[in-house]
């Protein structure tokens, strides 16, 4: 007769340095930190988006590129790669696919003949509308259960966090140096 396996021991994490950035509830699970929650929600939203795209001719990566170009027509290819956090060669193949589908066109940069600027074609408009509709549905699903005030405050808080983290690198907050 087999015995049940012992339960794993869960040890709460605690902070060793109290201070303004320390957590008011030091015994909480590490999965409740702001960074973990934001990353986890982003992962779940990305997964839901990919599920909604099933059966579409677009991939998730292509949809991201189209959304960025809809926000800022005429981006240089290298700048779009940076925004998407992918290598320029990877983006080049992605743009090749979108250009072959008639959704994006490359134009030579008038200030740098080695560079291309990217523009959506008219054929991309229905695809961008589809992407936005999917995004709206996922946002509504993610915010379900929150009242209008809480939803507005959540979005406003995330925008402030993004602005804080988007500050120039030289102004980035550095962790304190420990004295020996």
Strand partners, 76: 117
- In this predicted model, what pLDDT tens digit does every residue of 68-105 receive, in sequence order? 999 999 999 999 999 999 999 999 999 999 999 999 99
The torsion angles phi and psi of 63, rounded to 5 degrees, stand at: -60, -45
**pTM of the predicted model as reported, rounded to 2 decimal places:** 0.69
- In this predicted model, what pLDDT tens digit does every residue of 14-63 receive, in sequence order? 444 444 455 555 556 777 888 888 899 999 998 998 888 888 888 899 99
Grouping H, G, I as helix, E, B as strand and the rest as coil, residue 17 is: coil
Question: To the nearest whole number, what is the mean pLDDT of the chain?
Answer: 82
Strand partners, 120: 104
Domains of the chain, each with CATH number or no CATH: 36-159 (1.10.10.10)
Name which of 128, 104, 116 is nearest 79 in CA terms.
116
């Amino acid at each position: 007769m087999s015995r049940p396996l012992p339960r794993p021991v869960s040890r709460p994490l605690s902070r060793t340095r109290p201070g303004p950035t320390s957590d008011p509830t030091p015994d909480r699970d590490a999965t409740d930190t702001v960074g973990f929650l934001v990353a986890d929600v982003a992962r779940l939203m990305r997964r839901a988006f990919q599920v909604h795209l099933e059966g579409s001719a677009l991939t998730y990566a292509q949809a991201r590129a189209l959304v960025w170009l809809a926000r800022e027509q005429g981006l240089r290819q290298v700048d779009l790669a940076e925004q998407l956090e992918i290598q320029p060669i990877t983006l080049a193949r992605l743009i090749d696919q979108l250009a072959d589908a008639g959704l994006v066109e490359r134009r030579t940069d008038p200030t740098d003949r080695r560079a291309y600027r990217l523009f959506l074609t008219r054929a991309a408009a229905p695809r961008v509308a589809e992407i936005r509709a999917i995004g709206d549905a996922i946002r509504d699903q993610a915010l379900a259960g929150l009242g209008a005030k809480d939803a507005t405050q959540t979005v406003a808080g995330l925008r402030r966090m993004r602005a804080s983290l988007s500050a120039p690198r030289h102004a980035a907050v550095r962790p304190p140096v420990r004295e020996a």
